[in-house]
Amino acid sequence: MPRPLPLFATLLLLALSLAAPAHAEGFITRLLNKPVPGGVAVLDLGGQAQAPKVRYQGKPVLTIREDGQRWIAIVGIPLGVKPGTQQVQIEGGQSLAFEVGAKHYTEQRITLKNQQQVNPNAKNLARIERELAEQTRAYRQFSARQPSNLLFDKPVDGPLSSPFGLRRFFNGEERNPHSGLDFAASRGTSIKAPAAGKVILIGDYFFNGRTVFLDHGQGLISMFCHLSAIDVKLGDEIPRGGHLGKVGATGRATGPHLHWNVSLNDARVDPAIFIGAFKP
Ligand SMILES: [Zn+2]
């Protein structure tokens, strides 16, 4: 008769079997799966040969093979999505449900001397609308390339300052929540590509100032704002770690810093997730 396992070993085995998912979760799933508004859901699509085509809210979704085995979908969840059940559509008619949890985002109050940056006049509003349309088109691009890396490098050396998702009040008036992550860095600091990418848009915008968009592949797109100098051209292929430009304070900025957006399937998500700095 086999000796009974000591109690602690029994408890350990029980804990392991309760914690073990239907299949082993890979590194990318553990790192990126933060299913909250403004977060990312990583969904298991199975082990078939062909890449499944997945859509969320009508938009194509990034899919990769994790650890060379199962396909996973990496879904960006817009900040405006309410906690509860969401679905993606898989080509062929199937759908796959996932749960979005709650996340509390705090408030930030900012004082601006330039009242035009709080309540722009008609001419500036027309400009803002034009620029928004241009940037939205960039975010909706979906190239076939695979991202070089999903665990991103920090784009600048410097501490994180304003987090993603802050509810922002400019001179006491509520405006759009903070769509990216800010880094404190002095003017002229080099900004580097967090992953390889193609330059798909360059602009000098009313709110974002001098701006570069990088397409990392399959709808994973970065935006870098308020630059003092842009050192790349439209269409350039930038390697991981390649220099893009320099930190500045152009556009609506109270001082030099880098504002970095990360977008998946046209949803702006918390960049901190991709650098292992997400706070629940
Ligand atoms: Zn910012």
Of 79-88, 125-134, 136-145, 165-174, the poorest mean pLDDT is in 165-174
Distances (CA, A) of 21 to 96, 223, 238: 17, 35, 38
Q: What is the dihedral of CA 251, 138, 56, 65, to 10 degrees?
A: -110
Average pLDDT estimate for 142-169: 95
Distances (CA, A) of 133 to 128, 191, 226: 9, 25, 19
Average pLDDT estimate for 22-38: 86
Q: State pLDDT tens for residues 121-146.
A: 999 999 999 999 999 999 999 999 99
Q: Find the 31 Cα to ligand 1 centroid distance in Å.
A: 23
Q: What does the mean pLDDT of the chain come to?
A: 91
Q: State pLDDT tens for residues 179-194.
A: 999 999 999 999 999 9
Write down the pLDDT at residue 174.
85
Q: Find the 260 Cα to ligand 1 centroid distance in Å.
A: 7
Q: Find the 238 Cα to ligand 1 centroid distance in Å.
A: 23
Residues at Cβ < 5 Å from ligand 1 ion: 182, 259
User: Highest-confidence range of 68-72, 83-87, 250-254, by mean pLDDT?
Assistant: 83-87
Q: Find the 93 Cα to ligand 1 centroid distance in Å.
A: 39
Q: State pLDDT tens for residues 52-78.
A: 999 999 999 999 998 778 999 999 999
Q: Find the 257 Cα to ligand 1 centroid distance in Å.
A: 8
3-class SS letters over the chain: CCCCCCHHHHHHHHHHHHHCCCCCCCHHHHHHCECCCCCEEEEEEECCCCCCCEEECCEECEEEEECCCEEEEEEECCCCCCCEEEEEEECCCCEEEEEECCCCCCEEEECCCCHHHCCCCHHHHHHHHHHHHHHHHHHCCCCCCCCCCCCCCCCCCCCECCCCCCEEEECCEECCCCCCEEEECCCCCEEECCCCEEEEEEEEECCCEEEEEEEEECCEEEEEEEECEECCCCCCEECCCCEEEECECCCCCCCCEEEEEEEECCEEECHHHHHCCCCC
pLDDT of 148 over the 60 cut: yes
Average pLDDT estimate for 197-207: 97
Better pLDDT: 163 or 110? 163
pLDDT of 5 over the 80 cut: no
Q: Find the 155 Cα to ligand 1 centroid distance in Å.
A: 14
Write down the pLDDT at residue 19.
45
Write down the pLDDT at residue 275.
97
Average pLDDT estimate for 215-224: 98
Instruction: Report d(CA 216, CA 157) in Å as an integer.
Output: 21
Write down the pLDDT at residue 172.
86
**Global pTM value:** 0.89
- Shortest CA distance to 159 belongs to which of 10, 277, 3, 34? 277
Is residue 73 within 8 Å of 63, Cβ to Cβ?
A: yes
Q: Find the 27 Cα to ligand 1 centroid distance in Å.
A: 29
pLDDT of 9 over the 60 cut: no
Instruction: Report d(CA 212, CA 246) in Å as an integer.
Output: 11
Q: Find the 66 Cα to ligand 1 centroid distance in Å.
A: 32
Write down the pLDDT at residue 23.
56
Q: Find the 109 Cα to ligand 1 centroid distance in Å.
A: 13
Write down the pLDDT at residue 219.
98
Confidence of residue 175 (pLDDT cuts 50, 70, 90): confident
Q: Find the 118 Cα to ligand 1 centroid distance in Å.
A: 15
Instruction: Report d(CA 61, CA 74) in Å as an integer.
Output: 7
- Positive or negative: CA dihedral 174, 179, 183, 188: negative
Instruction: Report d(CA 111, CA 109) in Å as an integer.
Output: 7
Q: How many residues does the chain have?
A: 280
Q: Find the 42 Cα to ligand 1 centroid distance in Å.
A: 26
Instruction: Report d(CA 212, CA 250) in Å as an integer.
Output: 13
Q: State pLDDT tens for residues 227-241.
A: 999 999 999 999 999
The percent of residues in the chain predicted with pLDDT above 70, rounded, is: 91
Q: Find the 184 Cα to ligand 1 centroid distance in Å.
A: 10
Q: Find the 227 Cα to ligand 1 centroid distance in Å.
A: 12
Question: How many other β-carbons are positioned within 10 Å of the β-carbon of residue 248?
Answer: 25
The percent of residues in the chain predicted with pLDDT above 90, rounded, is: 75
